Structures are given as C-alpha cells and as structure tokens.
Amino acid sequence: MNRIEELRAELAAAETAATLEWLRREIEHRAVYRVRPGDPGILGKAPNTRYTWQIYLRRVMMDPQWMWHCAHQLHSRLPAGPRQFAACEDAGVPLAQALATLDGQPWISVKKERKKYGLHNWTEGRTTGAPIVLVDDVAGSQATLRSAASKLRAFKLPVANYYVTILNKTQGTHAENYLANTQLISLFTCDDIAMTWQAYAERHGREPNFGPIY
C-alpha cells in the first residue's frame, strides 16, 4: 500500500468513526426513555416488573437520513454472498428495507401472528430462494428473532447463519445467545449508550429530554 492509499484508508476510517458517533449520539439523545430518580419505573413485559429505562429505536429509525447511514454501516459489515433480508415486524421493517435497497433485492417481513383473513399468511413479500437474513432493531431475549426463524424453517425456507440488529442488548443483559450457531452483526451495545437518567446527566451535564409522547 502506497502513501496515497494509506491516506485514503485513514480518511475512510475517520469518516466511518464520525458516522458511528453521530448515529450513537442520536440514539442516546432521542431514543432512550429514562425514569427520573425517585419516580416509579415504567411497566415491564414480565409481571410485576418495572424499568428505569426503555429503548425506542424507531424514534431514530424513522428518520431517513439516520436510517440510510445506519444501513450503510451495517451493510459494510455483512459477509458476501446471496441473501434476502427479512424484517421481524414491526421494528425491523425500516432497516430491512434500507439494507435490501443497498443490495437491490426484494425483501420480506415475518409476522408475529398469522394474518387472520385472506391467505392467513405468516410473511409479506415474495421469497427469492436465497438464504434469509433476519433483521430487527434490538437483540435482547431474541424471542422475536427465534420465533421468526422457526416460522421460516417450518416452511423449509433457508435461514442464513447470521442476523442483523442495530443494538445488541444481549451483551451484559442476557447470559447466552439464544440463536445457536448464528452470528449477530450489530453496531452498538447498551454499554455504548448512557441508558440511565444518572448516566446521561453525568455525561452531558443536563437532564435528559425524551420529548413529547402521543
């Protein structure tokens, strides 16, 4: 590699780092609801549980500029080869559409529940026969991803050996990767974001402002 090629590589690396930092900041400022210390937590999924913070990535995913840059960063990390992206409804839809646009290939979505009328289908879109790459916003318990993979395999559809999310919440919050022998490709973990009220205030010197909720 000559000096010009080295400079181009350094510039590309700096641009990537700057883009990732902008994506991270947008999540931190706009897509995490934090409970003020002393206030009751927000209701959790499990009975009798409350959260001190909750991620709402669609508050940034529905910004086309943010979604486009996010998709480019993830797309550059994916292995080469034929594939078809499949969104886990509903949260994975914007990301799957953006990734499929970069590939120039059709994508599908996988429903949480079978359609109750018409064809009673589990998926939307048309399959291409290529290995299906599942896409979601967050990997936590991975229940949505596991359910989608199970539905696809029940129809004898090929499922890729990797899946894609924006945030890997599994790290530090869950003891294991529930999708065995499957690689998770993501951009961030919870450790990258100031999740709690206190952590945000310490990092930025001000209280978090999630904005109006309708």
In this structure, the dihedral spanned by the alpha carbons of residues 77, 81, 86 and 91, taken in order and rounded to 10 degrees, is: 10
pLDDT tens, 20-48?
999 999 999 999 999 999 999 999 888 88
| CA distances, 113 to each of 46, 101, 144, 200 (Å) | 20, 26, 11, 37
Take residue 122 and report the two structure tokens written for it: 């589990």
Where residue 179 falls among pLDDT bands split at 50, 70, 90? Answer: low
What does CATH list as the number for 3-204? 3.40.50.2020
Is-contact 84 69, C-beta < 8 A? Answer: no
Coil, strand, or helix at residue 145?
A: helix
Is-contact 92 109, C-beta < 8 A? Answer: yes
* pLDDT value at residue 45: 82
Is the model's pLDDT at 174 over the cut of 60? no
- Alpha-carbon distance of 167 to 171, in angstroms, equals 10
Number of neighbouring beta carbons within 10 Å of residue 49: 10
pTM assigned to the model: 0.89
User: At how many degrees (to 10) do helices 3-30 and 64-75 cross?
Assistant: 130
pLDDT tens, 108-136?
999 999 989 999 999 999 999 999 999 99
